[in-house]
Amino acid sequence: MTNKRAPKWQRQGYRSEDEYRAACSATRKTRRAAMAATKARYTTARILEKMWDDADFDKPVVTITKEQLMAKCGCGLTITKNALAELRAEGSIKPIKGWEGGRAKPTTWRLCVPGSNTTPADEQVQALEEARARDAAWRYLSGKFGPVKALEILGEPGE
pLDDT score for 120: 60
pLDDT score for 116: 67
Q: Is the pLDDT of residue 12 over 80?
A: no
Cα separation, 84 vs 87, in Å, equals: 5
Strands 93-97 and 107-111 come out as antiparallel
SS3 (DSSP) at 109: strand
3-state secondary structure 81-102: HHHHHHHHHHCCEEEEECCCCC
> Domains in the chain, start-ordered, CATH in brackets?
13-115 (1.10.10.10)
pLDDT score for 125: 65
Residue-wise pLDDT tens digits, 42-74: 888 888 888 888 777 667 788 888 888 888 888
How many angstroms separate the first and last alpha carbons of the chain? 47
Cα separation, 33 vs 21, in Å, equals: 18
Q: Is the pLDDT of residue 142 over 80?
A: yes
Instruction: Look over the chain and give the mean of its residue pLDDT values, rounded to a whole number.
Output: 78
Cα separation, 3 vs 12, in Å, equals: 18
Judge if pTM exceeds 0.75. Answer: no
Cα separation, 87 vs 44, in Å, equals: 7
Cα separation, 128 vs 24, in Å, equals: 13
